[in-house]
Amino acid sequence: MQKNILIIGACGQIGTELTFTLRAKYGNEIVIASDIREGNEALMDSGPFELLDATDYDALEEIVAYWEIDEVYLMAAMLSATAEKFPMRAWNLNMNSLFNVLNLAKEKKISKIFWPSSIAVFGPNTPQENTPQNTIMEPSTVYGISKQSGERWCEYYHNKYGVDVRSIRYPGLISWKTMPGGGTTDYAVEIYHKAISDEAYTCFLNANTSLPMMFMDDAIRATLELMQNDSEKIKVRSSYNLAAMSFTPEEIAKSIKEHIPKFVISYEPDFRQAIADSWPNSINDSSAQKDWNWKAEFNLESTTQEMLKNLK
């Protein structure tokens, strides 16, 4: 039997690049992209696409049956800043989409799931430096609460029903192909777009707010490496800490100024400052290193080079 892959939320920041990468690897027709709305032209032209509301179990089940889907990447979610504005909508989307996919696997209609978690699972009482895999969490945002609950359910479905679900706590993700939307770490993408169009950037976080970040190529590679590994190697069935770099708005501005000396940044922190303050400054990802040999490649300097080169 042919094993097809479904990507839910394929038009988002991560979904777009995941779709391209999986299609390049397995073939365009094997990878079915889906989202609640259509994506950019390049994505829509690259292979099969289905309109799908991830909270609609019947619609999802129908697509899985029709395309003979075996593996699902559930990338649809409402991110941290937007979720603070629409708490119930965020909870509904983030949790019900996950239950739908977990239940498909429990019913043996699919055999493998990837579901992203986030550094947002941590909270103000978490040790902020080199945050361990297992520690105090107590997230204080709607998004973080949904991701932590999701992690608990993933582990539960794995232990109780043998569901092969795998997950990564992504740091803030920096990419040039598709804009992020509604996140607290989005500033680290917006800033490059402003810099490249010779505009000043007003940052919604303080100059010295340190957050864990990662270049998208590393995030996609990590996702594929996690999914390709033997099931026995995947010891953590809640979600893996993953790290690449940490920097502040001041530091990213400095790395941009090395290429664009006249670039100007100013700071006007808004409600997202409190969200950022509740998250770790840096992450310990030794479990991912040990279990599936994870190692990041991009640091701030190489990320800045890639961003400026590709946005030009």
> Taking the complex as a whole, how short is the minimal distance between the CB of residue 170 and ligand SER, in angstroms?
6
- C-beta closer to ligand SER: residue 23 or 147: 147
> Taking the complex as a whole, how short is the minimal distance between the CB of residue 223 and ligand SER, in angstroms?
14
Q: In one letter, which amino acid is 291?
A: D
Cβ(106)–Cβ(163) below 8 Å = yes
- C-beta closer to ligand SER: residue 242 or 265: 242
- C-beta closer to ligand SER: residue 12 or 183: 183
The sign of the CA dihedral 205, 209, 210, 211 is negative
User: Which SS3 state, helix, strand or coil, does residue 166 take?
Assistant: strand
> Taking the complex as a whole, how short is the minimal distance between the CB of residue 279 and ligand SER, in angstroms?
8
Q: Which residue is nearest to ligand SER (CB)?
A: 183
Using CB under 6 A as the binding criterion, the count of chain residues that bind ligand SER stands at 10
> Per CB under 6 A, does 79 bind ligand SER?
yes
Bridge partner list, 72: 6, 113
> Taking the complex as a whole, how short is the minimal distance between the CB of residue 5 and ligand SER, in angstroms?
23
- C-beta closer to ligand SER: residue 170 or 201: 170
**Cα–chain-centroid distance for residue 49?**
21
**Footprint of ligand SER on residues 89-148 (CB under 6 A)?**
118, 120, 143
Q: Which of 165, 74, 167 is nearest to 112 (CA)?
A: 165
> Per CB under 6 A, does 212 bind ligand SER?
no
Residue whose token pair is 């490496």 = 225
> Taking the complex as a whole, how short is the minimal distance between the CB of residue 114 and ligand SER, in angstroms?
15
> Taking the complex as a whole, how short is the minimal distance between the CB of residue 128 and ligand SER, in angstroms?
16
- C-beta closer to ligand SER: residue 92 or 111: 92
What residues are labeled active site? 143
E runs forming strands in 183-239:
201-203, 211-215
E runs forming strands in the chain:
4-8, 31-35, 49-51, 69-74, 112-114, 117-118, 165-166, 168-170, 172-174, 201-203, 211-215, 240-241, 245-247, 265-267
Cβ(298)–Cβ(245) below 8 Å = yes
- C-beta closer to ligand SER: residue 102 or 142: 142
180 vs 107: CA distance, rounded Å:
33
243 vs 168: CA distance, rounded Å:
10
> Per CB under 6 A, does 80 bind ligand SER?
yes
280 vs 94: CA distance, rounded Å:
22
Binding pattern to ligand SER, positions 169-188, x when CB under 6 A? -x-x----------xxx---
Q: What are the residues binding ligand SER (CB under 6 A)?
A: 79-80, 118, 120, 143, 170, 172, 183-185
